[in-house]
C-alpha cells in the first residue's frame, strides 16, 4: 500500500512499545519519516510528557512540518470501582489519555491546515464505547478521545485534514501488565473471536487511515475488537 511519499513526516506518541511501536514500524516501511515520542525515552523515542502542553509544543516544533500524527500514548490506570480509586488517579489517566491527545492535536493542526493536508489517528478503545467496569477513568478518557476526534474532524473537514480514531479491544501490549487478571478475563469474554489482537493488526488499520488512500473518511470510529462492538 502506498501510504504517502517519502517527503511526509509523522509523529507517533507512545512510540516506544506496543501499538505505537508497531504503527511507527508500519509507517517507516511505507516510506514515511517517523518521529516517536514516549515518556520513557526508550530506544529511539524522544522523551516527551504529553500531559505538558509546553512539552508537546516544543517537541512538535523541533520536527515540523508534520503531516501525520498518531496519538497512541496511554495508560490503563488502576482497576477498581470508581469510588475506590486512589486520590488523583482519575485525573492522571484523563491527563495522559485525553488531555495529552488534545495537546498534540492542538500543536500539529495549524501547520497541517496551512499546508492543506494532514492525517490524525487517535487510539481510543472499545472501553470508550461500552464502559468497562472497574475502569471508569480509562473508559471516560477513551470516550473523550472519541468525542474529541469527531469534533476536530468537523472543524478541519474542508482543510484537507482528516481526523479519525480506532477502538481496539484487548491488544497484546505491555499495557496488559497494568490490568488485573480478573479484568483481563472479563475483557476476553466479550470478544467473539476469543483471542487478543496483535499490535500489527491495529497498525495496519492506522497506516491506511494515515494514507492518501483514506480520502473520504473523517470523524469516524473504526472498530478493531474481534467483533465485540461493531458499531
Rounded-to-integer distance, Cα 125 and Cα 30, Å: 25
Question: Cell 485525553 sits at which residue?
Answer: 98
| pLDDT given for residue 174 in this prediction | 81
Rounded-to-integer distance, Cα 10 and Cα 203, Å: 14
pLDDT tens for 151-164 read 999 999 999 999 99
The answer to whether the beta carbons of residues 123 and 71 sit under 8 Å apart is: yes
Provide the grid cell at 136. Answer: 471508569
| pLDDT given for residue 185 in this prediction | 86
In the chain, where the domains are located: 9-221
Higher-pLDDT residue of 27 and 170 is 27
| Average of per-residue pLDDT values in the chain | 94
Kindly state the average pLDDT of the residues 171-186.
Answer: 81
Q: Which of 102, 103, 138, 231 is catalytic?
A: 138
The reply to whether 102 belongs to the active site is no
pTM of the model: 0.93
* CATH fold group of domain 9-221: Rossmann fold (3.40.50)
Q: Is the pLDDT of residue 2 over 70?
A: no
| pLDDT given for residue 179 in this prediction | 74
| pLDDT given for residue 231 in this prediction | 78
Amino acid at each position: 500500500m502506498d501510504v504517502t511519499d517519502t517527503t511526509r513526516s509523522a509523529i507517533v506518541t507512545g512510540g516506544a512499545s506496543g501499538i505505537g511501536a508497531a504503527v511507527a514500524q508500519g509507517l517507516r516501511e511505507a516510506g514515511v519519516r517517523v518521529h516517536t515520542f514516549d515518556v520513557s525515552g526508550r530506544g529511539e523515542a524522544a522523551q516527551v510528557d504529553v500531559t505538558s502542553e509546553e512539552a508537546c509544543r516544543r517537541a512538535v516544533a523541533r520536527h515540523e512540518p508534520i503531516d501525520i500524527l498518531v496519538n497512541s500514548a496511554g495508560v490503563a490506570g488502576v482497576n477498581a470501582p470508581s469510588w475506590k480509586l486512589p486520590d488523583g488517579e482519575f485525573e492522571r489517566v484523563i491527563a495522559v489519555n485525553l488531555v495529552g491527545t488534545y495537546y498534540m492535536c492542538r500543536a500539529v493542526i495549524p501547520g497541517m491546515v496551512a499546508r492543506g493536508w494532514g492525517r490524525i489517528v487517535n487510539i481510543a478503545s472499545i472501553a470508550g464505547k461500552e464502559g468497562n467496569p472497574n475502569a471508569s477513568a480509562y473508559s471516560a478518557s477513551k470516550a473523550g478521545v472519541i468525542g474529541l476526534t469527531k469534533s476536530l474532524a468537523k472543524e478541519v473537514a474542508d482543510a484537507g485534514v482528516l481526523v479519525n480514531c480506532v477502538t481496539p479491544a484487548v491488544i497484546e501490549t505491555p499495557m496488559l501488565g497494568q490490568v488485573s487478571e480478573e479484568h483481563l478475563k472479563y475483557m476476553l469474554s466479550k470478544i467473539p473471536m476469543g483471542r487478543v489482537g496483535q499490535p500489527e493488526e491495529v497498525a495496519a488499520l492506522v497506516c491506511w487511515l494515515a494514507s492518501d488512500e483514506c480520502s473520504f473518511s473523517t470523524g469516524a470510529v473504526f472498530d478493531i475488537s474481534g467483533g465485540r462492538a461493531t458499531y
